[in-house]
Amino acid sequence: MKKITLVLCTTLASLCVIAQNDSSRLDAGGIVLKRNFTQHVSIRGEDLEKMPFSNLSDAINVWLNGAYTVSRNLVFVVDGNIINDVNAYSIHDIEEVVLLQNAAVLSGTAGGQQQMVLITTRRSSAAGWHIRGAAQTMLVHSRDATTNLYHQYYAGVDKGFDKFSVGLSVNYLRDVLPMRKQEGAIPTPLHMDRWRLNGNFHWTPDSKNAVELHVGFAPQTLDSTFNYHAPANAGSIFTDGFTHSHENDQQFSSWIRWRGEWLPGLRNDLQVGYLHFSQKEGNNMLYHFAPPNESSNTYQKGNEDFHIYQFYVRDRLSYAIHAQNLTLEPAINASYQDAEEVYREAYYRETGPEAGTPAGAIYGEPGSAMLNPGRIKLYVLTPTIDVSYKQVLNIQAGVVSNVSHRAPAHAAIMLPRTSAFGSVAVDLLKLDGVSRSNSLQLFASASRRSLYSFSDNSLNDVDGNDLPYRYYYPGSLFTVGNIFPERSYYAMPAVDKAPKYWVWEAGLSWKSMHGRLQLDYNFERRNFSRGVLTNQGDTTVIYWLNTMSSSQHRLGVNYRLIDRAGVSWMMGANTTVLRVHNVAEPNPYIIGDNTPDNKRPSFTGGWMNRIQCHGFSLGLDLLYHFSGEMYDFSGQNSYVLAARRNGWILQNVYAGYKVPMHKKMNLEIYADCRALAGGGILSSVDMTSDRRYYGVGANISL
């Protein structure tokens, strides 16, 4: 039956093609929501263009959940497609970033704290040539460290015709992590060179049909070296040290989408995609020990080679029925994913008189291995029903069902194959039918969660900002300069009964003064799990399943203080309180306040300003975290809460000017500073970065 259903959906897709892109809807991959009835946070891409960054989470955390917005807890959907990494796109190719605050879209995030973020890429609809360019050059500096350079260059061109358009963009980015100054050390700082090439094709044969094609390729390398010769009487256990780290990442993405309206009200959305992600990493190390253990040991790691190949098909068939002021829209989403992982690694080898001693034993025995977790095929059906009454009420419900022959071989086998979700939104100020400029919307949603997708890889960067906290060990020679892969492989233990993951959200949004003032509140409650490192006996280290729950409150306000022709001032502020009920030891890999028996919350968020006065522009973003938990790393496998501290950082400040140009040419030059000022110990621990950027840039369009 499931095969017949999938074939039927695909056959209908081939007949009815796909409808035009609808800006009134938010496409989260397997679920489509109506924008006006969905609580969300929206950011324009152009508001982020002047800030230097290599990871999008660094730029959006001020707007979303402050210090708790880190890349490994964000699931990105680009133009309705779940991709390996959003950082394969330049910010100049992004039109809008949207944080969805709806439990329904979190149905596929079992076991984690992930939030859903939608990305809409830029596209040209006007006829003629359109050329865009951008350049940034920044000095990068850290306290007691070297000063290095950050570069970014972008060029994009698209051509619009009567019924179709084509576009191509290329972006080069170089980011760097300055290394601490140390007597006897000659470092080449950890740096990243990333290319991003994206091409697209859009064809609209008529008002009811559209075809899109996208191809992207993002290769990058990360490198660093560290040479050290200990000064006389330095007291170090090393007399000489050398490390060389190299990593090569590549992400290829491609998809084609065909949307159309076959009959009045009957729409279909078919897309087919292929993704390939690869990562190769290796470290070479040479140590010379000081007397009385003088020797020469070499620790060398061959290529660590990781690949994932993914092919997917997704189809959405919907039919809108209108009856006076009521709209009923049943839909069915069908998806197929075929993913394969291949992982090869050459273990660390060591040679020299001290081979096998504790100094080198942590790197393992000589040898090599190939791990192939196998092939995963997922068939998922998601029937939904959407009911709307005018602009007053919306109700949506559905079921996500894994109809595969068998569940994947990993932990997902323990999770439920069927998960239900539902959401409701109502505007209280429109219930009486009177048209008003103000609105007061209430939102509620709930979902049971399981695993229905496979997207587990990302391009590394120099900051390691997938972690919520960073640790620096004074006196360590090799703290900075080695690349450590984010990925680790471990087997979850057998459990008698798997936890039932769920999430529910509630919120309100009040708009006044013709939309100039907006106040939002959102509450989220969920349970999740994390593998926690523990000891068994003296040496054995195991992972065990730790089940936790969390509660998150977010309050945000946006106000357009000035909104006149040529002059505008938009200001926004938000704060997030995220508390985790953690039954085990504190674990900084968990986002939020998670100390057992925690009775004191912390507050994190941001303050944003965008000012435009004719040709002049100003921007200021401030990130803060008050009463945040601080951990000390004690021993090998446990974390201890040390204290609560405050911190703030002037994350981004810029001043720009649009130079008067001839005809349609636009040129803006600007000066920008990232992390110009800050205070409190948390500013260098769990904020965006303790690096400071100073530089200039320019944007041009024709």
As a three-state string, the secondary structure of 145-193 is: ECEEEEEEEEEEEEEECCCEEEEEEEEEEEEEECCECCCCEEEEEEEEE
Name residue 592's amino acid.
Answer: G
Q: How confident is the model at residue 525 (pLDDT cuts 50, 70, 90)?
A: very high
Distance from C-alpha of 462 to C-alpha of 464, rounded to nearest angstrom: 6
Residue with tokens 């349609």: 664
- Reply yes or no on whether the pLDDT at 508 is more than 90: yes
In terms of DSSP bridges, do strands 74-78 and 115-121 run parallel, antiparallel, or are they unpaired?
A: parallel
Instruction: Determine how β-strand 678-679 pairs with β-strand 393-402.
Output: unpaired
pTM, 2 dp: 0.85
Note the residue count of the chain.
702
Supply the DSSP symbol for 469.
S
The span from the CA of 572 to the CA of 609, in Å, is: 7
For residue 449, name the pLDDT band (cuts at 50, 70, 90): confident
Burial 220-246 (b: 16+ CB within 10 A, else e): bebbbbbbbebeeeeebebbbbbbbbb
Q: Give the pLDDT band (50/70/90) at residue 503.
A: very high
Using one digit for the tens of pLDDT, what is the confidence trace for 10-64?
A: 333 333 333 334 578 899 887 899 999 999 999 999 999 999 999 998 899 999 9
Instruction: Please determine, for residue 491, whether its predicted confidence score (pLDDT) is greater than 70.
Output: no
603 touches 616 (CB < 8 A): no
Sign of CA dihedral 41, 42, 45, 49: negative
Using 50, 70 and 90 to split pLDDT, how confident is the model at 433? confident
In 353-500 the beta strands, taken as DSSP E runs, fall at 368-389, 393-402, 418-427, 439-449
How far is 194 from 89, CA to CA, in rounded Å? 11
**Gap between the Cα atoms of 555 and 622, Å rounded:** 16
Residue with tokens 């975290």: 625
Spatial separation of the C-alpha atoms in residues 24 and 37, rounded to whole Å = 10
Q: Compute the distance between CA of residue 130 and CA of residue 114 in angstroms, rounded to an integer.
A: 37
3-state secondary structure of 414: helix
Any idea where the domains of the chain sit in the sequence? 2-484+500-701
**Residue 105, both tokens:** 């879209």
Mean pLDDT, rounded, of the chain: 79
Nearest alpha-carbon partner for 349 in 330, 336, 377, 368: 368
Asked whether the beta carbons of 570 and 558 are under 8 A apart, the reply is: yes
What's the pLDDT at 442? 97
CA 561 to chain centre: 31
What integer is the mean pLDDT of 626-635?
Answer: 72
pLDDT at residue 266 above 90? yes
Q: What SS3 class is residue 680?
A: coil
Tokens of 409: 């071989």
String of DSSP letters for 592-617:
SB--TT-----EEEEEEEEEEETTEE
pLDDT of residue 569: 95
Arithmetic mean of pLDDT, 495-503? 68
Average pLDDT value for residue range 365-373: 48
List, in order, residues 6 or more apart from 416 with CB less than 8 Å away: 448, 450, 500
Closest among 555, 498, 501 to 526, alpha carbons compared: 501
Q: In sequence order, what DSSP letters do the residues of 73-101 get, joined into one string? A: GEEEEETTEE-S-GGGS-GGGEEEEEEE-
Residue 214 CB: number of other CB atoms within 10 A? 22
Kindly report, residue by residue over 220-243, the tens digit of the pLDDT: 998 887 777 777 655 556 667 777
Arithmetic mean of pLDDT, 95-124: 88
- Phi-psi bin for 529: left (phi > 0), alpha (psi -120 to 50), beta? beta
> Cα(447)–Cα(504) distance, rounded to whole angstroms?
6
Band (pLDDT 50/70/90 cuts) for residue 632 is low
Tell me if 158 sits within 8 A of 182, measured CB to CB.
Answer: no
Tell whether the model's pLDDT for residue 562 goes beyond 70.
Answer: yes
CATH class of 2-484+500-701: mainly beta
**Angle value at C-alpha 361, between 359 and 366, nearest 5 degrees:** 130
Which tens digit of pLDDT belongs to each residue from 568-613?
999 999 999 999 887 666 666 778 888 877 778 899 999 999 999 9
Cα 447 from Cα 108, distance rounded (Å):
10
**Cis peptide leading into residue 292 (ω within 30°):** yes
